[in-house]
Amino acid sequence: MMKWLEHIGEQIFSLITEMGRVITFLIQTLRWSVSRPFYVKNLLKQMEVIGVDSIPVVLTTALSTGMVLALQSYTGFKRFGAESLIGTVVSLSMTRELGPVLTGLMVAGRAGAAMAAELGTMKVTEQIDALETLATNPMKYLVVPRFLASTVMMFFLTILGMVIGISGGYFVGVKVLGTNPVTYINQSINNTEVKDIWFGLIKALVFGAVVGLIGSYKGFNTEGGAEGVGKATTGAVVVSCMLILILDYFLSALLW
């Protein structure tokens, strides 16, 4: 019994120290983000790797979600004659919730994993030490571009996800299930406020920062060769997905 409590205590202690380290890492990243030199070329490269290359997965996920959402809510709403509300359900869910969350999870799985793997490999092959010996700050050269690119690109990918998801919903609602297009559009527009879109996009910025931060942190703290790189990669995906889901709740509660 004592052993067991001790074990729990140790786990909680190490979780807290780890959180402390992540926060320190975040503060350093923010501090290095605003001082010279700026590695613009690295930033653009990361925007391409994280943003442009994530477009296909984000498109597929958002499209399928929007379509399924329309289909499922039709089945439900038809039972009490409220088919006209499909548009509202799809656009509210896509903007406030599913657009940012699904985009966040997809980018975490794709770009966050790649980031941890790349930086982890650089760590275990001493490339990060080499950068330092060449009088170049690795946080600035490697982490800042990834953090900023991930935050900014998540914003735009989420806009894309919202638009595609809503279009998918419209296609299923109107073309497949045959609800009235004018009502569908009116219902969507009247019940979705600009504020809903902004809430979704604020979430997107936070999720983007999470993916960039955790991917870089896990990469930079990789130890123990190829096996360590594997662990860092899985760790980055698991932790950023968990954080996205947890923060999603708190942001939803905070942003009305």
Residue 256 found at the interface with other proteins (CB under 8 A): no
H/E stretch holding 216 reads helix 194-220
- From 18-26, 106-114, 120-128, 165-173, give the range in contact with other proteins by CB under 8 A: 120-128
Nearer to other proteins, 37 or 81 (CB): 37
* Cβ-Cβ contacts under 8 Å for 70 (sequence gap 6 or more): 86, 90, 168, 169, 170, 171, 172, 173, 177
* Residue in 6, 126, 193, 227 binding other proteins, rule: CB under 8 A: 126
How big is the site for other proteins, counted in residues (CB under 8 A)? 15
Q: Going residue by residue from 134 to 173, which x/- string records binding to other proteins, judged by CB under 8 A?
A: xxxx------------------------------------
How remote is the C-alpha of 1 from its chain's centroid? 40
Residue 40 found at the interface with other proteins (CB under 8 A): no
Burial of 134: CB neighbours in 10 Å, binned 0-12, 13-18, 19+: exposed
* Residue in 48, 125, 190, 245 binding other proteins, rule: CB under 8 A: 125
Q: 87 near 170, Cβ under 8 Å?
A: yes
Q: Which residues bind other proteins (CB under 8 A)?
A: 37, 121-122, 125-127, 129-137
